[in-house]
Structure 1
Amino acid sequence: MEDIFVVKRCNRTIINGRRAGETSHLPPDAAVWYRIIDTRTRGFMGDGFDREEEARRACWQLNARSQMTAPQG
């Protein structure tokens, strides 16, 4: 049976702000994060994860629960 939930790597840009009176402005930082996507609806589940291992563990748990509650037959 195919997994319903899969991990997707997403790009993220972190914008560094500045306070009033500061003249220098740091450039944005490029980063990645991981999200769980529902393959049936193409929607994202919950918040994102900074570490891929955490996202995969949560994804595995969601898939395990969905297989236990899915009707057999």
Structure 2
Amino acid sequence: MEDIFVVKRCNKIIIHGRRAGETGHPPPEAAVWYRINDTRTNGFIGDGYELEDDAKRVCRQLNARSQVTAREG
């Protein structure tokens, strides 16, 4: 059975602001975060995760629950 929930890597750009009177600020930095994608609806579950391992752990739990529900139904 194919997994319903998969981990998707997302790019994010962190922009550093500056206060009045400051002349310079650090440049934007590239980073990544991870979201759990529902392949049935193409929607996302939860708010996202900084660590891929955390997202994969939750994704495995969701897939395990959905397989048990499908077998019972």
Q: TM-score, normalised by structure 2?
A: 0.92
Residue 34 of structure 1: aligned partner? 34
Secondary structure of the residue that 2:42 maps to in structure 1? coil
Q: TM-score, normalised by structure 1?
A: 0.92
Q: Which runs of 5+ in 2 are unaligned?
A: none
Give runs of ≥4 in structure 1 deviating > 2 Å. Answer: none
CA deviation after TM superposition for structure 1 residue 49, in Å: 0.7
Distance (whole Å) between structure 2 residues aligned to residue 44 and residue 65 of structure 1? 17
Q: Does 1:64 align with 2:67?
A: no
Identity of aligned residues (%): 73
1:14-70 Cα deviation digits (max 9, x unpaired): 010111111102110100111100000101111111111100000000001111112
